[in-house]
Amino acid sequence: MVKFENTNPADFHGVWVFCEQRGGEVNPTAYELLSEGRKLADDLGVELCGLLLGDNVKDLAPAFGGYGADRVLVCEDPLLKEYTTDAYAKVLCDMVMEHKPEVVLIGATNIGRDLGPRCAARLHTGLTADCTHLDVDVAKYKEFLKSTSTMDVEKMQWDMSDKGLKMTRPAFGGHLMATIICPRFRPQMSTVRPGVMQCAPFDQAKADACKVELCPVTLSESDLKTKVLEVVKEAKSAVDLIGAEVVVCVGFGISKDVKTGIELAQQLADALGGVVGASRAVVDAGWLDASHQVGQTGKTVRPKIYIALGISGAIQHKSGMQDSECIIAVNQNGDAPIFEIANYGIVGDLFKIVPEMIEQLKK
Amino acid sequence: MILSQQHQMMQKLYRQFAETEFTDELLDRLEETEEFDWDIHNKMAKYGFMGVKIPVKYGGQGADSLAYALMIEEFARVSPVLSIYANTSNSLGAGPLLYCGTEEQKQKYVTPVAKGEKILVFALTEPEAGSDAGGTLTTAVQDGDYYVLNGRKTFISGAPFADYAVIYAKTDPTQRGSRGISMFIVDMKLPGVTCGKPEKKMGIVGYPTSDIIMEDVRVHKSELLGPLHKGFSTAMKTLDGGRLGMAAQAVGMAQGCLDESVKYAKERKQFGQPIAKFQAISFMLADMATEIEAARQLVYSTAVRMDAGDPETNKLCAMSKLYAAEMCNRVAYKAVQIHGGYGYIKDYKVERFYRDARIASIYEGTSQVQQMVISGNLLR
Amino acid sequence: MKFIVCVKQVPDTSGVVAVKADGTMDRSRMATITNPDDLNAVEAALALKDQNPEAKVIVVSMGPAPAEGMLRELLAMGCDEAVLVSGREFGGSDTFATSQIIAAAIAHIGLDEDDIIFCGRQAIDGDTAQVGPQIAEKLDLPQVTYAIDLKLEGDKLIVRRQLEDGYMTIETSLPCLVTCIKELNVPRYMTVKGILESFSKPYQVFDYNELKDEPLIELDTIGLKGSPTNVYKSFSPPLKGAGVILDGSPAESVEKLFAALTEKHII
pLDDT band with cut points at 50, 70 and 90 for residue C24: low
Class of domain B5-114 (CATH, top level): mainly alpha
Which stretches does DSSP call E strand in chain A?
15-19, 21-22, 25-26, 48-54, 71-76, 103-107, 127-131, 133-135, 166-171, 176-181, 188-192, 211-215, 226-233, 246-250, 275-278, 305-309, 326-331, 344-347
The closest CB to that of C73, out of B9, B17, B61, belongs to: B9
CA–CA separation, A51 and A48 (whole Å): 10
Per-domain residue ranges of chain B: 5-114, 120-229, 233-378
Q: How far apart are the first and last CA of chain C?
A: 63
Contact A263, A256 (CB under 8 A): no
Answer for the pair A307, A294: CB distance below 8 angstroms, yes or no: no
Residue A172: name the closest of C74, C16, C133, C64 by CA: C16
Q: Does the pLDDT at position B130 exceed 90? A: no
Contact flag B6-C189 (C-beta cutoff 8 Å): no
If we measure between CA atoms, which residue out of B168, B115, B164 comes closest to residue B140?
Answer: B168
Counting every residue written for chain B, the total comes to 380
Q: Provide the shortest C-alpha distance from residue A234 to chain C (in Å).
A: 5
* Rounded-to-integer distance, Cα A19 and Cα A73, Å: 10
ipTM of the prediction:
0.91
Query: Averaging pLDDT over each range in A297-306, A329-338, A341-350, B314-323, which range is the top one?
Result: B314-323
Q: How many residues does chain C have?
A: 267
> How far is residue A34's CA from residue A14's CA, in Å, rounded to a whole number?
13
At the fourth CATH level, the homologous superfamily of domain B233-378 is: Butyryl-CoA Dehydrogenase, subunit A, domain 3 (1.20.140.10)
Say how many CB pairs under 8 Å bridge B and C: 45
pLDDT > 60? residue A2: no
Among A175, A306, A357, pick the best mutation site for testing chain C contact (most C Cβ within 10 A).
A175
**Is the Cβ pair C193, B56 closer than 8 Å?**
yes
Mean pLDDT confidence for A68-97: 97
Name the residue type at position B65: S
Interface of B to C at Cβ within 8 Å reads: 5-6, 9-10, 12-13, 16-17, 47-49, 52, 56, 61-63, 67, 71
Contact A179/C239, CB-based, under 8 Å? no
Strands, sheet with A48-54, edge to edge from the N-terminal-most edge strand: A127-131, A188-192, A103-107, A15-19, A48-54, A71-76, A211-215
Residues of A in contact with C134 (CB under 8 A): 117-118, 120-121
Which of chain B's residues have a Cβ under 8 Å away from the Cβ of C189? Answer: 13, 16-17, 47
| For chain B, percent of residues with pLDDT exceeding 70 | 100
B256 against B25, higher pLDDT: B256
Is it true that domain C2-211 has CATH number 2.30.42.10?
no
Active site residue B364: yes
pLDDT given at position A300: 84
Ranges of H-type helices in chain C: 36-51, 68-77, 95-109, 131-138, 192-198, 208-211, 250-263
| Architecture of the domain whose range is A9-223 | 3-Layer(aba) Sandwich (3.40)
pLDDT at residue C25, as a whole number: 66
Q: What mean pLDDT is predicted for residues A139-164?
A: 90
Judge: A225–C142 Cβ closer than 8 Å, yes or no: yes
Helix ranges (H only) for B127-172 are none
Least confident of A270-284, B108-122, B187-201: A270-284
pLDDT digits (tens, 9 = 90+) for A298-328: 888 888 899 999 999 887 788 788 888 889 9
CATH superfamily for domain B120-229: Butyryl-CoA Dehydrogenase, subunit A, domain 2 (2.40.110.10)
Q: What is the mean pLDDT of residues A177-202?
A: 93
Cα–Cα distance list, C74 to B283, C45, C98, C132 (Å): 41, 11, 21, 19
Distance CA B296, CA B248 (A): 7
| Continuous segment of H or E residues that includes residue B30 | helix B24-33
Mind telling me how many Å the CA of B111 is from chain C's nearest CA? Answer: 15
- Could you tell me how far CA B101 lies from the centroid of its own chain? 21
Q: Is C170 helix (H, G, I), strand (E, B) or coil?
A: strand
Cα separation of C147 and C161, whole Å? Answer: 5
Examine the pLDDT at A1 and tell me if it is beyond 60: no
pLDDT tens-digit map of B343-356: 998 888 999 999 99
Q: Is B212 helix (H, G, I), strand (E, B) or coil?
A: strand
Query: Measured between CB atoms, does C14 come within 8 Å of chain B?
Result: no
Confidence at A296, pLDDT banded by 50, 70, 90: confident
Among C72, C189, C193, select the one facing B17 at the smallest CB separation. Answer: C189
In words, the CATH class of domain A246-362 is alpha beta
* C18: contact with B, CB 8 A cutoff: no
| Banded pLDDT at A236 (limits 50, 70, 90) | low
Distances (CA, A) of B88 to B15, B95, B223, B375: 19, 9, 20, 27
- Cross-chain Cβ contact C192/B52 below 8 Å: yes
- pLDDT mean over A237-243: 73
Residue C34 touches partner B, C-beta closer than 8 Å: no
* Mean pLDDT within C143-171: 95
Tell me the C-alpha distance between B120 and B124, whole Å.
13
CB-CB contact of C201 with C81 (8 Å): yes
Of all residues in chain C, the one with the smallest CA distance to B51 is: C192
Q: What is the pLDDT of residue C27?
A: 72
What share of chain C has pLDDT > 90, as a percent?
Answer: 73
Q: Residue range A43-61: average pLDDT?
A: 96
Distance CA A203, CA A67 (A): 7
The side-by-side arrangement of strands in the sheet containing A226-233 is A226-233, C166-173, C156-163, C143-153, C176-180, C116-120, C2-7, C56-62, C81-85, C203-206
Residues 6 or more apart from B171 whose CB is under 8 A from it? B139, B140, B141, B142, B147, B180, B181, B182, B228, B229
DSSP A74: E
CA angle C37, C43, C44 (to 5 degrees): 90
Residue A270 has pLDDT above 80, yes or no: yes
Rounded distance between C-alpha atoms, residue A175 and residue C127, angstroms: 12
* Dist CA B147 CA B15 (whole Å): 45
pLDDT band, residue A256 (cuts 50/70/90): confident
For residues C51 and B129, the model is more confident at C51
Residue A174 has pLDDT above 80, yes or no: no
| Sequence spans of domains, chain A | 9-223, 246-362
Write the CA distances from B141 to B31, B211, B221, B228, integer angstroms: 41, 21, 11, 12
C residues 50-69 closer than 8 Å to B (CB): 69
Interface probe for C, chosen from B9, B58, B115 (most Cβ of C below 10 Å), is: B9
- B148 and B216 Cβ atoms separated by less than 8 Å: yes
Per DSSP, the three-state class of B225 is: strand
Q: Note the pLDDT of residue B226.
A: 92
Q: Do A121 and C229 touch (CB under 8 A)?
A: no
Write down the pLDDT at residue A330: 94
Q: Under an 8 A CB cutoff, do B13 and C198 touch?
A: no
**Percent of chain B clearing pLDDT 90 (strictly above):** 85
At C164 the pLDDT is 86
Q: Any CB–CB contact under 8 A between C260 and chain B?
A: no
Catalytic residue among B126, B291, B351, B364: B364
DSSP string, B328-373: HHHHHHHHHHHHGGGGGSTTSHHHHHHHHHGGGGTTTS-HHHHHHH
Q: Do residue C192 and residue B10 have CB atoms under 8 angstroms apart? A: yes
Task: Give the number of beta-carbon pairs within 8 Å between A and C.
Answer: 264
